[in-house]
Amino acid sequence: VDEDIGDLCSTAVTLTEEWRGTTVDRARDHCDTNGLSTFDTWYRIGVLEKKMPDACVAPNKCGADHGYYVGGGRGHPDPEDGIVGRTFFYSSSTNCESSSLQGHILNCGKIDGPDDFIYKWDKPSACSSGDKAFCAEEDPCSSTVYTKLDQAGRAGRSPSDEKISDINLPHGW
């Protein structure tokens, strides 16, 4: 990959869909094979932790049947590494490296917070074999991942007369 790094960092297309999160269940019609305009450009994950996960993602997450993550145990690069090649995998119910594609990652350095990563992927296989999406890492301690149980009356010795039932809480964190 022979490109001007400064230009790449400033012109990458930002993906802002919250459904890319690693805890978001599969939904219809989220297939990046058809949904992204081109695979000749660089993309930035602009939501949640603003990068792809480095570990296996369960099937039927990231808003698709198959969610891609950075595989091979090599993770994300440091800024001084420049553009690096990586393998991106998605998992099946029995295999964390069920299928893969090649691509590149560039660490543009810190911009208002954590390192800013951009990605350039080979085009995934057809959506007919299941919807495929590039995942956005989620911090399990983030308030977007769990339901905050902070109503009055939840404290063991609360003065509130309010009775709280957890019967209708959604499954999850």
pLDDT score, position 85: 97
DSSP annotation of 3: -
- Residue 4's identity, in one-letter code, is D
Q: Which of the pair, 148 or 109, is modelled with greater confidence? A: 109
pLDDT score, position 3: 67
pLDDT score, position 113: 74
Residue 158 has pLDDT above 60, yes or no: no
Note the maximum CA span of the chain.
Answer: 67
Q: Are 64 and 31 in contact (CB under 8 A)?
A: yes
Helix (H, G, I), strand (E, B) or coil at 128: helix
pLDDT score, position 6: 83
Average pLDDT across the chain, whole number: 86
Q: Locate the DSSP E strands across 42-139.
A: 43-45, 66-70, 84-90, 99-110, 115-121, 132-134
Q: Is the pTM of this model over 0.85?
A: no
Residue 141 has pLDDT above 90, yes or no: no
What are phi and psi for residue 35, nearest 5 degrees? Answer: -80, -30
